[in-house]
Amino acid sequence: MKKNVAIYYINLDRSEERHSHMQNVLKDFAYDVHRISAVDGKKLSYEEVPEYMYEYREKYYDHLTLTEIACTLSHKKAMEEFLQSDYDYAMILEDDILPTPELHTFLAHMEDLKGWDVIKLENRKYRKKDLNYLVKEIEGISVYVPKTVTLGALAIMYTKDGAKKVLNMNEKIYYEFDTQFNMSKKYDVKYLSVSPDLVTLSQFKSDIGYDNREQHHDKTLLHKYRRRNIRLFQSIEKVLYQKQLYAYFKNL
């Protein structure tokens, strides 16, 4: 498995302490490790990101911050580098993670899993009932179809096809990078998650995607109604897609 997997970690040029941290926590992994120079939101302007859906955010939400947009651009940069490589799989990490011992076990047995595009290695929206959608047990690690893969992008595993699909899904930036996974059904992204988490947060808080968000809306009833309808639709679609994906994986 070693030659087929690469590890990419996203790190700002000015975040030298996090760079050292990632070198330290990854030194025991028997895989090629690549640093991705993150896009710096503090050096970015909205005019430089034509793919950002400004009118959509103006109508339905507060605007994304430039650091949130930079986070998406950084993940896209990592996927693009992976697609130019000869590796079959990529594990793309943010620079504030701590791997668990189980991560080594999972990587060693990952080829037991078939048909997936994306595996989220940490899921803060894990629900016990998600295990009703269990696909496989790997050395005590439950691999399942989650209702959602949003809320964080600390550590995500990609196949080549998965990276292509997620890049296409982010051709236009509607949401934060993790929230954009709500569009997975439209782009046929076949995702899985694991329990327990295979990475945890370190003492660092990643600064590639966080900033104070400016409030652009007056929070009118119309604005709240639009947002509520979008969220209701997304919630229903996620439940249906979870069932669809589970049937797909069980029939492989």
SS3 208: coil
**Alpha helices (runs of H) in the chain, residue ranges in sequence order:** 16-25, 54-60, 66-83, 101-109, 160-169, 221-250
pLDDT exceeds cutoff 60 at 1:
no
3-state secondary structure 214-237: CCCCCCCHHHHHHHHHHHHHHHHH
Give the pLDDT mean for 134-161: 92
Q: Which amino acid is at 61?
A: Y
Rounded Cα distance between 243 and 201, Å, is 30
pLDDT in tens, 175-222: 999 999 989 999 999 999 999 999 998 876 655 555 555 544 455 676
pLDDT exceeds cutoff 90 at 137:
yes
The length of the chain in residues reads: 252
For residue 37, what pLDDT is reported?
98
pTM of this structure: 0.91
pLDDT in tens, 16-49: 999 999 999 999 999 999 999 999 999 999 999 9
Closest CA to 191 of 246, 112, 132, 116: 116
Give the pLDDT mean for 225-235: 78
CB 18 within 8 A of CB 38: no
Q: Which two tokens stand for residue 8?
A: 């990419």
Buried b (16+ CB within 10 A) or exposed e, 143-162: bbbbbbbbebbbbbbbbbeb
For tokens 């700002």, the residue is 12
Closest CA to 139 of 178, 96, 100: 100
Residue ranges of domains in the chain, CATH in brackets: 2-250 (3.90.550)
